[in-house]
Amino acid sequence: MYDLIVVGAGPAGYTAALYAKRYDLDVLVVGEDLGGLCSEAYIVENWPGTKEIEGKELTDKMKEQIEDLGVEVVQEKVDKIEGNKSFDVHTENRVFETSSVILALGADKRRLNIEGEKELVGKGVSYCVTCDGPLYRNKDVAVIGGADSGLKAAILLAEYADSVSVFEATDKIMAEKIMIQRCEQNDKIELNTGTVPKKFVGDNYLEKIVFQNGEEVDVDGAFVEIGSVPNRSIEKIGDREIKRDEDGFIEVSSDLSTSVEGVFAAGDVTTESNKMRQIVTAAAEGAIAAYSAYTYLGEKEE
């Protein structure tokens, strides 16, 4: 019987485990994707105290830190959680028992949901520049999305590709000014606004993108960077629904407790931190959730 199981192995989950261990709780981390979306980040420049660091390096350091404290990290997908005030956390192969839970489920890449997208994933359509960018050396590629993640993707792709065309649906590039300046200073990168993709076209591999205005652009690859949606892999605890808002974020109180007693949530999956979805806010919520779980367990014993 663990005191606490953290479901999710990104910055929120790792930080929750770090603080829980410092509160002398017996804690376990279970997550399918080690590092979460943070591990896919080409470069992180807004982690306090670190000028720049690769996302995977940052999350690897977080994991190493909690493992050095004796926290076990299990790389398995949690299929369901059952129980009432004490919980059974089920993976495909095992069942773990715990007195409390923190859901640090993170987020998933948002899809365009347009014609040809599903069929061409892995065949020219990608959601991970860090993973697939090197495959497009000397190619012409597109980035769909003109916010920070899209422009960061474009800058990395420019190291490999001959040309990178960024397409933003709105009439304005929505990224930080410094990211816009870096793209404008790079001869390989072209920024386009007011361009909404209609479909991806290709027989066995992506050949072109057709936009709603009728424009067609020939490309060898397309990277979709239009934000994220909260992970919904855990919707219930037993037969009790975890309350979410209309966008799918888990509703939490200021102590990060959810609608189910003994279950807390932290990071990109919650309604807290103004849904800012930054590494630093995920870590902060992980720390708060761990303290709240510690307080909750202490009150249970009284």
What are the residue numbers of the active site? Answer: 128, 131-132
What are the tokens at 148? 């920070």
Q: What is the DSSP letter of 282?
A: H
Give ∠ CA 63-65-67 in degrees, rounded to 5.
70
Within the chain, residue ranges assigned H as helices are 11-22, 55-68, 117-120, 129-132, 148-157, 177-184, 279-301
CA-to-CA distance for 259 and 265, rounded, in angstroms? 10
End-to-end Cα spacing for the chain: 19
The candidate with the shortest Cα–Cα distance to 158, out of 178, 130, 135, 187, is 187
CA-to-CA distance for 145 and 225, rounded, in angstroms? 5
CA-to-CA distance for 81 and 94, rounded, in angstroms? 12
Beta bridge partners of 81: 89
CA-to-CA distance for 296 and 130, rounded, in angstroms? 40
CA-to-CA distance for 216 and 109, rounded, in angstroms? 25
Please enumerate, as own/partner, the contacts of 236-240 that have beta carbons within 8 Å and a separation of 24 or more: 236/80, 236/81, 237/81, 237/82, 237/83, 237/87, 237/101, 237/263, 238/81, 238/82, 238/83, 238/84
